[in-house]
A and B are shown apart, each in its own frame.
Chain A
């Protein structure tokens, strides 16, 4: 079942067409990926899906409801959450406070008075928060200020915060960027556990790390989709080989013919 659909979306920044007439859909419980070289328009497309800014043309639907002009906050309420290329945790708060903020918004339709009366202390021992601290191996870091965490720990916390909200669709913007090999494996292990439970869309440079994990890959180049399908299918696509791997197809073909 189709859960997310972008139809003919275009986004321009002045003369630059960052996303050019892209149509894309995500299916329920699918784990899909978007890859492409720098400047391919991946993150802009991601921002259109999450409502960071509206498209100049085209529409976006979530479960057949048009959400093209909804704010990120409205999309979160529908169950669409994202992470950012640079971690979106809050450095001046502790790990537990970051989690409480994420949990509180996701699980309560709070009135203004409740927001004033609720203290973080009241939620510190919440079952779900305690469980997520365990799952993401953050228990020992609970009271540490986020500014003192490593990038890998911050990334784990960021994903933990989105998981606390129990989103229907999780959009991950380069979740492996800047991580060491062991940290990459830890993050991938966490994501693997979510397979079948959530719809996940990953924008990632490190294709080799996620290729076994993704059910469908979409390749973007200069704001357009140039290939879509399985890993092997995409990687053998001539346009992808030219733009993504910068392989000169014509030279390769004539070399093969010559030999």
Chain B
């Protein structure tokens, strides 16, 4: 392996891990609080990418596209929570998984209707590079990493400092008991779903310049995002961050050693971690049952 590729490999891994992290937070919180597997988060990721593409195409401003993508992700996820999920929260886990997969497939169909099947390119907004240890690194990838760090800090402060954040943490432990305190659990669910959808759309928007935007982009990252959630431990934000770094690095550095490793190695790591710790790295006590 060429050692000069290590620094860009690590940065690449961190940036791809950042995208996985932004998507996985939502999945993790949705499972932790509402006990649903929200595969439709992958739809909001695609919506985020497509809105960024369209706004960038018409206004020439990528960052305006990101803002529009976040707003669109929030609006679509809020509508789907109200129309679909509010009716199925009390159903079995598999029911929510199948329903959310249906929402995802339906959403992909709508994307195909509006944007077609042809993959769309989104230009990188910052083409400048920065020298780190003598290696030129694209500044845009560093910005993606910084956004993920900022989101982690914001989510941490939200969950640990605000009353509503504490109520969500309490709900992850036992939602019935939170309801017993008189807290409006339906509202907590909506807020959590909204946060998840918004962050998935942000992930799609930030990822758009690094890939080709196509209708099935959500399905392509599905396995990796799930791995991040499972390795980190369902419901754990800290675990999600650490596992996204692990998966990002394994994908990136693995491909430097032997290309097929990029696809295979994360699964091997996941199996290994689950063998040692079935709840994932930071799985909550409640989920150990």
Residue positions of A touching B, CB distance < 8 A = 50, 52, 71-73, 76-77, 81-82, 84, 88-93, 97-98, 100-102, 104-106, 110, 112, 115-121, 123, 147, 161, 165
Tell me if B285 counts as interface (CB < 8 A to partner A): yes
4 further interface pairs, Cβ-Cβ under 8 Å (given A50-B180, A165-B182): A88-B174, A104-B163, A120-B161, A123-B163
Evaluate contact between A116 and B166: CB separation under 8 angstroms: no
Report B-chain residues with C-beta under 8 Å of the C-beta of A102. 181
Task: Select from chain A the residue with minimum beta-carbon distance to B160.
Answer: A120
Q: Identify the interface centre among B161, B177, B181, B191: most chain A CB within 10 Å of its CB.
A: B181
Would A119 and B162 be within 8 Å (CB), given that A73-B184, A102-B181, A105-B182 are in contact?
A: yes
Pick from A72, A118, A147: contact of B162, CB under 8 Å: A118
Task: Select from chain B the residue with minimum beta-carbon distance to A165.
Answer: B182
Evaluate contact between A105 and B183: CB separation under 8 angstroms: yes
Q: Give the complex CA separation of A72 and B181 in angstroms.
A: 9
Task: Select from chain B the residue with minimum beta-carbon distance to A91.
Answer: B173
Tell me if B136 counts as interface (CB < 8 A to partner A): no
Report B-chain residues with C-beta under 8 Å of the C-beta of A105. 181-183
Task: Select from chain A the residue with minimum beta-carbon distance to B285.
Answer: A91
Tell me if B221 counts as interface (CB < 8 A to partner A): no
Would A115 and B166 be within 8 Å (CB), given that A71-B179, A73-B179, A161-B181 are in contact?
A: no
Would A101 and B166 be within 8 Å (CB), given that A72-B179, A73-B184, A81-B180 are in contact?
A: yes
Tell me if B220 counts as interface (CB < 8 A to partner A): no
Chain A to chain B: the 6 pairs with minimum beta-carbon distance, closest first: A76-B182, A88-B177, A115-B164, A90-B170, A105-B182, A118-B163
Q: Give the complex CA separation of A77 and B183 in angstroms.
A: 9
Task: Select from chain A the residue with minimum beta-carbon distance to B185.
Answer: A73
Q: Give the complex CA separation of A147 and B173 in angstroms.
A: 12
Report A-chain residues with C-beta under 8 Å of the C-beta of B167. 101, 115
Evaluate contact between A92 and B169: CB separation under 8 angstroms: yes
Report A-chain residues with C-beta under 8 Å of the C-beta of B161. 119-121
Q: Give the complex CA separation of A82 and B182 in angstroms.
A: 10
Evaluate contact between B182 and A101: CB separation under 8 angstroms: no
Chain B nearest CB from A158 CB (Å) reads 9
Chain A nearest CB from B193 CB (Å) reads 14
Evaluate contact between A101 and B183: CB separation under 8 angstroms: yes
Q: Identify the interface centre among A73, A82, A100: most chain B CB within 10 Å of its CB.
A: A73
Evaluate contact between B162 and A84: CB separation under 8 angstroms: no
Chain A nearest CB from B192 CB (Å) reads 13
Report A-chain residues with C-beta under 8 Å of the C-beta of B179. 71-73
Task: Select from chain B the residue with minimum beta-carbon distance to A117.
Answer: B162
A interface: dominant SS: helix
Chain B nearest CB from A119 CB (Å) reads 5
B140-182: CB near A (< 8 Å → 1, else 0) gives 0000000000000000000001111011011011101101111
Tell me if B187 counts as interface (CB < 8 A to partner A): yes
Q: Give the complex CA separation of A118 and B191 in angstroms.
A: 16
Evaluate contact between B182 and A77: CB separation under 8 angstroms: yes
Pick from B163, B174, B176, B285: contact of A101, CB under 8 Å: B163
Would A97 and B180 be within 8 Å (CB), given that A119-B161, A120-B161 are in contact?
A: no
Chain B nearest CB from A40 CB (Å) reads 22
Q: Give the complex CA separation of A88 and B169 in angstroms.
A: 14
Task: Select from chain B the residue with minimum beta-carbon distance to A84.
Answer: B177
Evaluate contact between B170 and A101: CB separation under 8 angstroms: yes
Evaluate contact between A76 and B180: CB separation under 8 angstroms: yes
Report A-chain residues with C-beta under 8 Å of the C-beta of B183. 73, 101, 105
Would A73 and B182 be within 8 Å (CB), given that A84-B177, A90-B177, A101-B163 are in contact?
A: yes
Evaluate contact between B176 and A52: CB separation under 8 angstroms: yes
Pairs across A and B, CB under 8 Å, 8 listed: A71-B179, A73-B183, A82-B180, A90-B170, A90-B177, A101-B163, A105-B182, A115-B164
Instruction: For chain B, residues 166 to 221, give those with C-beta under 8 angstroms from any C-beta of chain A.
Output: 166-167, 169-170, 172-174, 176-177, 179-185, 187, 191
Evaluate contact between A93 and B164: CB separation under 8 angstroms: no
Report A-chain residues with C-beta under 8 Å of the C-beta of B284. 92
Q: Identify the interface centre among A91, A101, A123, A147: most chain B CB within 10 Å of its CB.
A: A101
Evaluate contact between A90 and B169: CB separation under 8 angstroms: yes
Q: Give the complex CA separation of A101 and B179 in angstroms.
A: 11
Q: Give the complex CA separation of A92 and B164 in angstroms.
A: 15
Q: Give the complex CA separation of A47 and B260 in angstroms.
A: 55
Report B-chain residues with C-beta under 8 Å of the C-beta of A106. 181-182
Report B-chain residues with C-beta under 8 Å of the C-beta of A98. 170
Evaluate contact between B187 and A72: CB separation under 8 angstroms: no
Report B-chain residues with C-beta under 8 Å of the C-beta of A112. 187, 191
Report B-chain residues with C-beta under 8 Å of the C-beta of A165. 181-182
Report A-chain residues with C-beta under 8 Å of the C-beta of B285. 91, 147
Q: Give the complex CA separation of A89 and B177 in angstroms.
A: 8
